[in-house]
Structure 1
Amino acid sequence: MSPRRIMLVAALLIFAGAGRAADRPNVLLVITDDQGFGDLGAHGNPVVKTPGIDAFAKNSAWLKNFYVSPVCSPTRSSLLSGLYNYRTGVVDTFLGRAMMRPGVRTLAERLGEQGYRTGLFGKWHLGDNYPLRPEDRGFQTTLWHNGGGLAQPSDSPEMKPATAYFDPVLIRNGREVKTKGYCTDVFTDAALDFIAADKREPFFAYVAYNAPHDPFEVPDSLAAPYRKLDLTAAGFPKSGQPWAGPKVNTEQIAAAYGMIENIDTNFGRLLKALEEKKLADDTLVIFMTDNGPGGVRYNAGLRNRKGTVYEGGIRVPCYVRLPGRIKPGHVIEQPAAHIDLTPTILDLCHVAAKDSPAFDGRSLTALLAGTETSWPNRTIFLQWHRGNAPERYRAFAARGPRYKLVQATGVAPENTLTPKFELFDLKADPFEQTDLASDRPDEIAALKKQYDDWFTDVTKTGFDPVRVHIGSEHENPARLSRQDWRGPNAGWTADSLGYWEAFAERAGTYEFTVRSRTGFSRYELDLDFPENKQTVGPRVSGPVATPDDNKSPILQTKVNRTLPKGPVRLTARVGDVNKMRGADYLEVRFVEVAK
């Protein structure tokens, strides 16, 4: 090939690469779990070691006033849909309330339809069974854990909670696998393999670390150096609000900081891979967290922590980098939120949203580029409390461009709600130290009216239970855990009892396996059909033989039943003649079509 032809081909390749970077950048979205605003060196923490994230922050645009929900699942549903979480059906983190409605379209689906390779590595927390799994929601490559975290009732029966973060059993592309290593390292390894797999099409890698969420399991070599430091409030800067919580546990803080340092190392591995593969200039990188800190520790003076609608529970780090299109070092003061990231990413990737309803969020592209001159004012709404459905005025915040209305009480639904409305001027008082409610009744009334209109709108479709499907060709068998059962006595304690709302996709014979982590001599299985308001046949029950292997962590029994197609409520109890309790797992396998 002649030198002139070589130069022409090189120029065309450069032009093609620049066009793809401008039109279809890769997307690396990294979100951590329970890492608060104060859990970064870049945010004034003098103890935790986060040099990689701190350096990334300097070369990125900073969404300084970035908001998420007070807890995990609501944040993730909004992040991946561009909608307020109530529109997605997600109201809480467990007991069937963290399951995103199948009809909600995700960012992964939208990008995948435009030729993106899509992968999820880490925490999903929007439904463990078909049709709610990440494999069902647009993610083509997956490695994830069930439920809201490792060491929870949704773990594989083979896992031990005390060591769940090490060599965890995870789900890879729909199948359980035993992995080797510390969980954050394992998820990063999988993400790196995905990024390196194919350069022909752009990728969307959603890396959702489950750390530093409790139970604070971490290699001792990472926690040990922090134990030598003063991890009480005396060892940190004095500004804003005092630490929120009844007791400081320095051992947990040391472990959390070790987990965060490990996150920083793995985030650095991801960025290094982009550099080595010459993808850094073609990749939109976002680093964020899902809510405030999950423990009592330094939070940069913000008020309170995870689970509250004060700033310490809902304002989190968010940094965005895309060379050539996003202004590095740019600080964006305008309030933004999780609902904005899907429309922003689609905008930067030149992917049009073709369906309705419109997003609740806005594209932040102009703000990130530093070209926006007239950003319209708006109010961002955040609410969370326990219960099957949202209730007006319980634990909510309405964050306007300057003032923030807070009604923080009512997280526990069994408590009688007596609303207490507070008003803060966040420009003058970012630490929420001075309540202006009595001084500015007009501002209170205006924000309250906006909240009322919003609440009516986002809850109008109701909150019927989202059902898991059994008998599906996509997941057979389906293993149900306490993560997604419901009922007034459902919970995670030893004596809890709940039921699963399911949908039988095929009429026929089903095999039910009742499992428990503790011994039982009897079982009961109820099958209730709400459409005809009856229980089919007598309750299935009987004695259980003692297994030969007394060391087995799971005791189980199996029974076959015939089900019609349609909704079914499943209740499994285990115990003895004196007391029955809810089973830890119910595995349902479709056996044969009804004759």
Structure 2
Amino acid sequence: MKHVLNRAFLGNYDFGMIASLLGLVGLLVGCGSNTDFSMPNVLLIVADDQGYGDVGFHDNEIIDTPVLDRLASESVEFTRFYVSPVCAPTRASLLTGRYHLATGTRWVTHREEVMREEEVTLAELFGAYGYRTGLFGKWHNGKQFPHDPNGQGFQEFFGFTEGHLNNYFDAKQIHNQVVEPTKGYLPDVLTDKALGFMNKEEPFFAMVSFNTPHSPFQVPDTYFDKYKDKGLNDKNASVYGMVENIDDNVGRLLKALQKTGKDKNTIVIFMSDNGPNGIRYNANLKGIKSHVDEGGVRSPFLVRYPNKGWVSKTIDDPIAHIDLLPTLAEVIGLTVPDSIRIHGRSVVPLVQGEPLEERFLFTHQVVRKFDTIPAAVRKGNWLLTIKPRDTALFNLEVDPYQKNNLFENKLEKASQFLNAYRIWFAQVNADYNGKTKIQIGHPGIPKVEFPTQEAVSYLQTTFRGKQGWANDFFTQWSDSSRASWDFDSKGIESYEVYVEMSGQVKDAGVVNLRMVNQSLQGSITAILTKSKIESPDRVPRGEVYAYDWPRIYVGDFRSTQGENMISLSTTGLMNAEIKSIQFILKEEKK
């Protein structure tokens, strides 16, 4: 069923697929209370690393966010909206209504960010109910089909699949599997693409997932100079400039809705994916991005829906990213099947002034290696944080900034929270079967990339960026180095195989790729030199820089169904660097 929805937009039709798709549409529409297709549009805007305090309506006296401030005054604001401490987990949860650990998403790189294709996303539910679905910007839940946006229900995708980009000006983007160049500042480009999508027929679900204010810190001069003149350092001037640019682009989106008369019947949501990416004003909350404290996981959250009176209201009850899917489903009139096993709940009653029973909300974070902690448990006004060297209990009603640890005074409550966490952790990890494998063999998918940070093993080499974040590459590669990738072939397709790399040749260099029952070799007779792409950074970056890479052809490969492994080695090379292995579909070279 998943692959019916995944492939329909690519044109791989057959009668069985069409019948199955129509059956799913009938099932889902039949579950709803509204089938006249007068449903609301949905515009979901997600910022990247914008903190709770990075808006004027949370008493930040330096930043200028007039559009978001006005939107806050016109919206229902949930003041205690909780996300995950880092990007990919939040995105998996808001798309599925499930805790990210249950979706297979554990962290942000090394395929820990990949969401299982079996998960049912907002885009798939909306698409089955007659919506046009589009994602514009960051994805971060899987690079290759069917774990990419097109494979997870977005009929239109324009953006990038990794955790971040290396350049925000004139950046190459993916448009439905095909790489396209762009001109200008990326958030502006993404907004342009979203506007084109929203101006077409209704109903639509548009997710605008900005790449900012995530690093690298690149922003047009007008925005940067304004905040430098206010006395901020280069990093914070960049961040605030990026946020003001988001504000301007949100203004463009809202004006377009008003101009086309769609504003009254469009649910507009604004949020961020985690706490701020650095120490700056955060409404005095404790913690930043990657922390389980309030400042690391509390996000601005606005929802406006004029046709239903969802305007000008503040709600202090705690809710979370897992609540987005069930809430939208109730508003639209779609009953979510029990088989999806949603962890969140609809918060429509809260908007209508009705109380909801208090429940536990759970947070988990990875610090490079998966473990049971760091973690946090919230219920009502109580917060328990569980860290390697500290477990603390806070009453946020009287201590919102986490100054007074009540753990020793409230041992019974702390024990209750700890026990609830242990049970939850076991439940959400019960179905985990290891990292999802890269898939090949899907017809119509022009390229499958095996990036170095997704290798399952590597020897005698290291990452240029040390941690292996998005866009990283192997360096100090020698003839004793090895790397391998697991993959799963879903069909029979023919590929040309290339390796993106640079390096010096001793005499005659050879690139070796070995798979089950097949070996490929590519010859190198000259120095391979990658070329650096200039980057207008405002501060030194933590990420690797972007390069144009030479590409070596190593042979043809015809996939057969089943699991496989590809291993990489070289002979006759010195000071080599490896970026990726690429499988290019022979019938559709892109």
TM-score band, normalised by the shorter chain?
0.7 to 0.9
1:224 aligns to what SS in structure 2?
helix
User: Pick from 412, 416, 425: which aligns with 1:442?
Assistant: 412
2:362 aligns to what SS in structure 1?
strand
Matched residue type, 1:279: K
Conservation of the 8 A alpha-carbon contact between 1:512 and 1:588: yes
Conservation of the 8 A alpha-carbon contact between 1:123 and 1:208: yes
1:336-365 deviations in Å (ceiling 9; x for gaps) = 000000111111111221251431001011
Conservation of the 8 A alpha-carbon contact between 1:519 and 1:555: no
1:452 aligns to what SS in structure 2?
helix
Name 2:311's counterpart in structure 1. 328
Shift of 1:103: 0.2
User: Pick from 49, 68, 92: which aligns with 1:77?
Assistant: 92
User: Pick from 494, 504, 527: which aligns with 2:514?
Assistant: 527
Matched residue type, 1:585: S
User: Pick from 533, 542, 554: which aligns with 2:549?
Assistant: 554
1:248-296 deviations in Å (ceiling 9; x for gaps) = xx20110111111100000000001111111111010000000001122
Name 1:404's counterpart in structure 2. 383
1:567 aligns to what SS in structure 2?
strand
* Partner Cα separation in structure 2 for residue 109 and residue 578 of structure 1: 48
Name 1:495's counterpart in structure 2. 475
Conservation of the 8 A alpha-carbon contact between 1:465 and 1:501: no
Structural mapping, 1:188-587, within 5 Å: 188-198=191-201, 201-231=202-232, 250-369=233-352, 371-372=353-354, 374-386=355-367, 390-392=370-372, 394-409=373-388, 420-487=390-457, 491=468, 492=472, 494-495=474-475, 498-507=483-492, 510-516=495-501, 522-529=509-516, 536=517, 540-541=520-521, 543-546=523-526, 553-560=548-555, 561=557, 563-573=559-569, 576-578=572-574, 583-587=578-582
Which is worse superposed, 77-86 or 503-512?
503-512
Shift of 1:113: 0.6
User: Pick from 14, 26, 46: which aligns with 1:31?
Assistant: 46
2:211 aligns to what SS in structure 1?
coil
How many residues are aligned here? 521
* Partner Cα separation in structure 2 for residue 471 and residue 205 of structure 1: 29
Shift of 1:486: 3.3
The TM-score with structure 1 as length reference comes to 0.83
Conservation of the 8 A alpha-carbon contact between 1:520 and 1:574: no
1:303 aligns to what SS in structure 2?
coil
Matched residue type, 1:68: V
Q: 1:575 to 1:432 in 2, by over 3 A?
A: farther
1:158-194 deviations in Å (ceiling 9; x for gaps) = xxxxxx2111110112211111111000000001001
Shift of 1:118: 0.7
Structural mapping, 1:16-27, within 5 Å: 24-27=39-42
* Partner Cα separation in structure 2 for residue 21 and residue 42 of structure 1: 38
2:400 aligns to what SS in structure 1?
coil
Q: 1:114 to 1:261 in 2, by over 3 A?
A: same
1:385 aligns to what SS in structure 2?
coil
2:299 aligns to what SS in structure 1?
coil
* Partner Cα separation in structure 1 for residue 48 and residue 453 of structure 2: 18
Name 2:178's counterpart in structure 1. 175
Return the structure number with greater strand share: 2
Conservation of the 8 A alpha-carbon contact between 1:50 and 1:264: yes
* Partner Cα separation in structure 1 for residue 241 and residue 493 of structure 2: 51
2:385 aligns to what SS in structure 1?
strand
* Partner Cα separation in structure 1 for residue 484 and residue 45 of structure 2: 34
Shift of 1:585: 1.5
Conservation of the 8 A alpha-carbon contact between 1:66 and 1:336: yes
Conservation of the 8 A alpha-carbon contact between 1:59 and 1:321: yes
1:358-377 deviations in Å (ceiling 9; x for gaps) = 310010112123x31x3101
Conservation of the 8 A alpha-carbon contact between 1:306 and 1:312: yes
Shift of 1:520: 6.2
Query: How high is the sequence identity, in percent, across the aligned residues?
Result: 34
* Partner Cα separation in structure 2 for residue 44 and residue 517 of structure 1: 50
Conservation of the 8 A alpha-carbon contact between 1:60 and 1:326: no
* Partner Cα separation in structure 2 for residue 272 and residue 34 of structure 1: 25
Shift of 1:326: 4.0
Q: 1:557 to 1:275 in 2, by over 3 A?
A: same
* Partner Cα separation in structure 2 for residue 424 and residue 301 of structure 1: 15
1:6-47 deviations in Å (ceiling 9; x for gaps) = xxxxxxxxxxxxx99996111000000000011001111111
Shift of 1:543: 4.1
Conservation of the 8 A alpha-carbon contact between 1:41 and 1:54: yes
Structure 1, unmatched stretches of 5+, are: 1-18, 152-163, 232-249, 410-418, 530-535
Name 1:125's counterpart in structure 2. 140
* Partner Cα separation in structure 2 for residue 465 and residue 569 of structure 1: 14
* Partner Cα separation in structure 1 for residue 488 and residue 303 of structure 2: 41
Conservation of the 8 A alpha-carbon contact between 2:449 and 2:581: yes
Conservation of the 8 A alpha-carbon contact between 1:74 and 1:98: yes
Shift of 1:576: 4.9
Matched residue type, 1:25: P
